[in-house]
Amino acid sequence: MTNYQLGIFNEEGNIFNVSEFEVTSSDVSTIKKAIRKAVKPVDETIEIVVSFGKTLLEKISPNHLPDKLKSFETIKGKNGHEMPSNQSDLYFRIIGGDASLVLDQTIKIQEALDGISEVVLSENGFKYKDCRDLTGFVDGSANPKEEKKYLAALIPEGEKGEGGTYVFHQKWIHNLQKFNELPVGVQEKVIGRTKVDSIELEGDDMPVDSHVSRTDAKHDGVAMKIWRRSFPFGSAKEKGLMFITYTCDPFRVDIQLDRMLGNTEDGHSDQIMNYSTAVSGAYSFAPSTLELATILED
């Protein structure tokens, strides 16, 4: 498959924006025209991944609705944590290497959609140091390598939506002060990796409630691998991570979220949730470039 949206696998960009919109217009032709205008890049170095929530795709192009696309609903954990939904209609992830151009593209998208939608969330982010989260740990270490990333991320041939991907967006706000008060050895037990060189803990050194343990999931012997493209954000007001993942099947995300919340048989919650809070969550579908062009045709 070579007609996936290129931004999905872009590993070179270091400046990002994610913007989420609720579509308020009922005129399908107007909606499609606005999206066509929005996705035109302001510069050849900018890449955009556009994806659709289930409700919007049912409205503008129901024949292109993949079988497993659903709206995200708030999940409550057995141990007092929860992951809230802010399910919307239309999602844009902008990737670039120049903050000015990423901002220009963000503004262009917002202006193109003005009058047919409302902004639900818009977050700017960046590559922090050597691909680290603001906690100081390397992020995305468990991503599949080489060709395996395509198998993890893309809907396989023969399935509706083939060459596209299911997308999950989730904003997390860190309590960095609380986390940084922990000794480094304790932080490593929370994450499940060493801090400096990002080596996964092994044997008795790996807690069952570490972040690695809770998200390293298997189902019927199959590893539930996903393609993570998260980015940190930060200011004096908020600091956190915009968790973004692409998957061939949303069940792979569901099982990881349930394991983090303690909703599986072993009942263990992810320790990271004592130091970081999920404040949003949404599913969408990013079609292949060929299918996207068809969806947006009048």
Residue 298: what pLDDT? 86
**What local confidence, expressed as pLDDT, does residue 24 receive?**
98
> What DSSP element (H or E) covers 188?
helix 184-191
In a domain? residue 1: no
Residues 6+ apart with CB under 8 A from 135: 174, 176, 179, 180, 187, 191, 275
Tell me the whole-structure pTM to 2 decimals. 0.97
Q: Phi first, then psi: what are they for 74, rounded to 5°?
A: -55, 135
Is residue 17 a contact partner of residue 125, using CB atoms and an 8 Å limit? yes
How close are the terminal C-alpha atoms of the chain, in Å? 26
Q: Do residues 94 and 105 touch, judged by C-beta distance below 8 A?
A: yes
pLDDT of residue 143: 96
Sign of CA dihedral 7, 110, 242, 91: negative
Domains in the chain: how many in total?
Answer: 1
Positions annotated as catalytic residues are 139
Domain that holds residue 191: 6-295
pLDDT of residue 291: 98
Residue 129 included in any domain: yes
User: What is the reported pLDDT for 117?
Assistant: 98
- Residues (pLDDT < 50) of the chain are none
Classify residue 21: in a domain, yes or no: yes
Asked if residue 248 is part of any domain, the answer here is yes
In a domain, 221, yes or no: yes
